[in-house]
Structure 1
Amino acid sequence: MLVHPQFNPIALDLHGLGLPIAIHWYGLTYLAAFMLFLFLGRRRVLKPWYSSTGWQAQDFDDLLFYGVLGVILGGRLGFVLFYQPELYLAQPLKIFAVWEGGMSFHGGLLGVIAAMGLWAWRRQRPFWQVMDVIAPCVPTGLACGRVGNFINGELWGRAADPSLPWAMVFPESGSLIPRHPSQVYQFLMEGLLLFVILWWLGRRQRPTGQIAAAFLLGYGVFRFIAEYFREPDSYLGLLSLGLSMGQWLCVPMMVAGAALWLYFGRSGTQPAQTAR
């Protein structure tokens, strides 16, 4: 049985040098996520079926800006609406207290979809083509986020059999119960495995929309599985059918992903040419 090392959440404290700056590990994981998004995206647009439609590496600079806004605004609003609407309805000013924590992946996803839709409209590019380009670049960012969760000792797992070799005690949970390191499970499934699958699917030209559909389906499945090992939020617990809020939010993702994969596969629409 292992014990979480309780890392210092501050990676670099410059107060001793007279600078009012403290760099947190979580901030560094976000920075790594954005840098990986840029690196992988610039490689994606070199594919001939994208470069021939006018995609350029510089497009990802703007895409990143729009994506960051979508993640932050959508993630925060998603947490407010999906997880604690009563609290924020009673105290609406707390919506802006982002330093207290509270972000939702599913809300962030909706925010990114909206942001990419706006970018596609402004650039006169097909929406599903844009989503196909960015989809394989997202899981590495999710993996970085789970690393941050593990370093902070948050979002720990449910109780595990003490004989499990990697069962871990999270003192941050307020108990000495051995738990599943669910952050690691999510890092491996939603991060690395999903990235490998999407990057492999994107190695050749596919009908427009299928890569984005694969992301929806793949993330939904992996997150649904991981939630069986993750401790439910204390203020929600388990909901209908013994499922967590995270699992219920994954259901429409899985349904939409499977339906869109079949739809785009049957339509056989190839990456569209951009009007110039």
Structure 2
Amino acid sequence: MLIHPQFDPAAIRIGSFAIHWYGLMYLMAFGQFLLLGRLRIRAPQYQALGWSYKDLEDLLFAGVLGVVLGGRIGYTLFYMPGYYLSHPLDILKIWEGGMSFHGGLLGVLLALLWFAHKHRTSFFVVSDLVAPLVPFGLAFGRLGNFINGELWGRPTDLPWAMIFPLVDAIPRHPSQIYQLLGEGLLLGIILWIYARKQHRLGQVSGLFLLGYGLCRFLAEFAREPDAFLGLLGLGLSMGQWLCVPMIFFGIYLIVRRNTKTAVIGS
């Protein structure tokens, strides 16, 4: 079996100043958004809309706010509403951890709505632009989870089982790696290839919702559920239940009848 390396959570230390791995992962996620987004925004239809690299930077800034605020508020509402209702000031203590992907997704959707309204275009024109850029950013986030030794998996006897010494001496699924490979790299490659061809408006966004929902739903079977929640109805975790509407809405966007053509990828 494998043993988690127990990385120092700080990648760089200079005296009392430290740069943490998780912060670096966020920076790399945002950097790849700008890099790949630059390729996406070169598509003729986006150029016809007059969008520039500056617009991409504005979209990233709004998206970052959506991720942070939505992720934190989503965590307080989805996972620990009772505690934060009794300790409302603790909601501001982001440095203590506690972010929800699904809450962050809702925050990003609001950012996309704002951007679409500002540019007087369809929401799905913007979301189809952004969708292929998201999974690779998620991959960096899951790498940060692995480095920090958090969000570990359930016990297993598989050959690649890993012991997380700061948790216990039980071999567990390295579920962070599963999510990195599934909802990160695999989904990112599929979406990037899919978005290069012409599709109906909203289908690229739909494939992201469906793909992420399925990858996360399956990965949750290997991931240890939050101790304060455990498993919910039908033996599913909170993460799995939150993925169910994503899956169904993603299918709807893919199969719905829509004659409007989406923007062709790079």
Pairing 1:84-233 to 2, within 5 Å after superposition: 84-161=80-157, 164-173=158-167, 175-233=168-226
Deviation of 1:124 after TM superposition, in Å, equals 1.4
When the two chains are superposed, the root-mean-square deviation of aligned CA atoms in Å is 1.0
Deviation of 1:55 after TM superposition, in Å, equals 2.5
Q: Which residue number in structure 1 is paired with residue 18 of structure 2?
A: 22
Deviation of 1:123 after TM superposition, in Å, equals 1.9
Deviation of 1:76 after TM superposition, in Å, equals 0.2
Contact kept, 8 Å, 1:146 with 1:184, in 2: the verdict is yes
Q: Which residue number in structure 2 is paired with residue 252 of structure 1?
A: 245
CA distance in 1, matches of 2:262, 2:18: 45
CA distance in 2, matches of 1:271, 1:58: 22
Deviation of 1:58 after TM superposition, in Å, equals 2.3
Matched residue SS, 1:58: helix
CA distance in 2, matches of 1:140, 1:196: 9
Deviation of 1:207 after TM superposition, in Å, equals 1.0
Contact kept, 8 Å, 2:128 with 2:262, in 1: the verdict is no
- Report the residue type matching 1:190 in the other structure: E
Instruction: Indicate the percent of aligned positions where both proteins have the same amino acid.
Output: 59
Q: Which residue number in structure 2 is paired with residue 2 of structure 1?
A: 2
Q: Are 2:72 and 1:72 aligned?
A: no
Structure 2 unaligned blocks of 5 or more: none
Q: Which residue number in structure 2 is paired with residue 268 of structure 1?
A: 259
Matched residue SS, 2:251: helix
Deviation of 1:21 after TM superposition, in Å, equals 1.9
CA distance in 1, matches of 2:38, 2:259: 26
Contact kept, 8 Å, 1:154 with 1:172, in 2: the verdict is no
**TM-score, normalization: structure 2?**
0.97
Q: Which residue number in structure 2 is paired with residue 51 of structure 1?
A: 47
Q: Can you list the C-alpha shifts for 1:155-209, whole angstroms capped at 9, x where unaligned?
A: 0000011xx2211000121x10000000000000000000011001111121111
Count of residues paired in the alignment: 263
Deviation of 1:48 after TM superposition, in Å, equals 1.9
- Report the residue type matching 1:235 in the other structure: F
CA distance in 2, matches of 1:48, 1:267: 21
Q: Can you list the C-alpha shifts for 1:88-140, whole angstroms capped at 9, x where unaligned?
A: 00111111111110000000000000011011111212111000000000001
**Structure 1 stretches (4+) deviating beyond 3 angstroms?**
none
